[in-house]
Amino acid sequence: MAYDAEATRRRIFEAATAEFAEHGLAGARIERIAVAARANKQAIYLYYGGKDKLFGAVVRAKLEEICHSVALTPDALPEAAGRLFDWYQEHPELVRLLLWEALESGEGPIEGEEPRTEAYRGHVRDLVAAGVGEGADEPVHVAQNWLFTVLGLVAWNFAAPQLRRMVLDEPDEKAAVARRREAVVEMARVLAQTIR
């Protein structure tokens, strides 16, 4: 049977996603990734260049998945916020990866920061073009704040589930999540009406 490099890369990527989501960058082990991926450690270094770069590639790819599945525009914000909420619920690993990244990098630069920053700049340009910040002295700042607020409005629900449980005082987790989704969509509707 011929060696399938693409299949090996995919297995490494999937194993690394699970490993980093569970243990973070510092706690992750290349050995465990290699075993879970049915690959050797040399393949990981060959394809990804090491643990830091692999972690950066995993986070970037997860963010690109979400960016391609949900477009945040003022006109469709409530629906987009609902889809974003659903995406985070179905992919809890992204919030965990972002939290690990924040804990481990602090205020310092992160692996692959510049391409990710440029992607966010593209989203901000799209928002400005769609009218966010129209008439403001600094429409880019309005769009940046708008984007960051919407992302936080959704992601916080999954970053601190214990707070969701305590604040909502809801013993049924499914009911709590459904209630929060409804609230997020309504808040996004209000935000969309006041943004321009």
CATH number for the domain formed by residue range(s) 57-194? 1.10.357.10
> What is the b/e burial string over 80-93, where b = at least 16 CB atoms within 10 angstroms of the residue's CB?
bbbbbbeebeebeb
The yes-or-no verdict on residue 3 having pLDDT over 90 is: no
DSSP string, 136-189: SS-HHHHHHHHHHHHHHHHHHHHH-HHHHHHHHT-S-HHHHHHHHHHHHHHHHH
pLDDT, position 33 = 96
Mean pLDDT of 94-120: 89
User: Which pLDDT band, with edges at 50, 70 and 90, does 2 fall under?
Assistant: low
Q: What is the pLDDT of residues 137-175, one digit of tens each?
A: 999 999 899 889 989 999 999 998 888 888 999 888 899
pLDDT, position 137 = 92
Q: What is the pLDDT of residues 60-102, one digit of tens each?
A: 999 888 877 777 777 888 898 999 999 999 998 999 999 999 9
- Highest mean pLDDT among 22-31, 114-123, 158-167 belongs to 22-31
Mean pLDDT of 123-148: 89
Dist CA 172 CA 1 (whole Å): 50
Average pLDDT score over the chain: 89
Q: Where are the domains of the chain?
A: 57-194
The yes-or-no verdict on residue 119 having pLDDT over 90 is: no
Dist CA 97 CA 56 (whole Å): 10
Mean pLDDT of 25-33: 95
pTM: 0.85
